[in-house]
Amino acid sequence: MRERDKKIAKAAIKAAKEMLRTLPDDQNLVMGREVLTGKEVKKKFEVDDDFAAKTAEQILKLKLDTLVRKKHDDE
């Protein structure tokens, strides 16, 4: 991986981890039929590459969404 890509990935991983910290360990994430505790979610992020990538994508999309909506409201 290029140095540039590594830096971007590192930033996305950091943001995703910060987002996951907002889910308390004793609360649940429900994804269809799958139910995980907050603690299990954080563990899954470390070991499941697809889940980690999807989580990083979620925080980026949320940020983009709020910015786009803010711009739309400002106009």
Partner 1 sequence: MAAEFIFIAPRFDKATEYSFAWCQAVEKYAIDKGYDVIILNKEQATRTRVEEELRGWPDACLIHYDHGDVDRIYGDGEPVIDLDNNVLLTKRECFSMSCLSAKTLGVDSYHRYHTTFWGSWEVISFTTDALDEFQRAMNFGIKLRLDGVTDWNIIMEKTLENDNDIIDELIRKGKIFAAALLRQDRDARRVWTDKTPPPDQNSKCFWRNLLLTLFGNRAWRISKPF
**Using CA of residue 7, residue 9, residue 10, residue 14, what is the dihedral sign?**
positive
Q: Is 35 a residue that touches partner 1 (CB under 8 A)?
A: yes
The nearer residue to partner 1, 6 or 64, going by C-beta atoms, is: 64
DSSP label of 27 = S
The nearer residue to partner 1, 6 or 70, going by C-beta atoms, is: 70
CA distances from 65 to 53, 57, 68 (A): 18, 12, 5
Q: Is 1 a residue that touches partner 1 (CB under 8 A)?
A: no
Positions 41 through 60 that interact with partner 1 (CB under 8 A) = 58-59
